[in-house]
Amino acid sequence: MAMATANNGVNVQALLDAREALKGAPEAAKFTWRASCKWKNGTNSQSAVKGFFGLGQEQAHKTETSFEADHPEIFASEDHGITPVEYLLVGLASCLTAGVAAVAQNRGIQLRSVESKVEGSMDIRGILGIDSDVRNGYDNIKVTFKIDADASRQDIEALVAQSQKRSAVFDALANPVNITVDVA
């Protein structure tokens, strides 16, 4: 065991402390994440993320970050950014990766590298309205990790499984989320 020396840069003690603190303060555990979006032209929009709510008060990232989204040229658009559906893959990969690092730290496993590829398959006859039996969104997403760590293959597989079990993005995609869309 590398328990004493593993350093993946995750402050697990702070997370364990937070867990203890939030056990007695469920209201503080209620978070609201936010994005705002402005249409630019055609299928191109720009979204911004900065503030969020949690631990009972307004919070903010150190800086505001902007994200361009668009459709590619093969959809007769101008490709000013990645497609909206690709943002879901970025979210999934990064959530599982952060989880692998956190779980590895908690288990005393030193990571050397963690890489992943995510592929989401979609039949665009859904969004084009060709066949109502074809769904609009992904029918399948496959994530493949390649991990170099101070651990057996079995321990590495267990890391990934635990990360998946605790992943907010995995859950939001694998299970239904209630979404309301309104006009102000």
Under 8 Å between Cβ of 51 and 60: yes
Cα separation, 159 vs 137, in Å, equals 28
Interface residues for its own copies in 87-106 (CB under 8 A)? 87-98, 100-102
What tokens appear for 49 in the block? 């993320």
Binding mask 41-80 for its own copies (x = CB under 8 A): xxxxx-x-x--x-xx---x-xx--x-x-xxxxxxxxx-x-
Please report, as residue ranges, which positions from 126 to 155 form the binding site for its own copies (by CB under 8 A).
126-130, 135-147, 153
CA–centroid distance for 123 within its chain = 23
Binding to its own copies by residue 109, rule CB under 8 A?
no
**CA–CA separation, 142 vs 161, rounded Å?**
14
- With binding defined as CB under 8 A, does residue 124 bind its own copies? yes
Q: Does 6 bind its own copies (CB under 8 A)?
A: no
Q: Which is nearer to its own copies, 1 or 157 (CB)?
A: 157
Q: Which residue in 33, 56, 58, 152 binds its own copies (CB under 8 A)?
A: 33
3, 4, 14, 133: which one binds its own copies (CB under 8 A): 14
Tell me the residue length of the chain.
184
| 1 scored as a contact of its own copies (CB under 8 A) | no
Q: How far apart are CA 68 and CA 48, in angstroms?
A: 9
State how far the Cα of 132 lies from the Cα of 149, in Å rounded to an integer.
Answer: 46
User: Which tokens is 167 given?
Assistant: 């992943």
Q: Which is nearer to its own copies, 4 or 14 (CB)?
A: 14
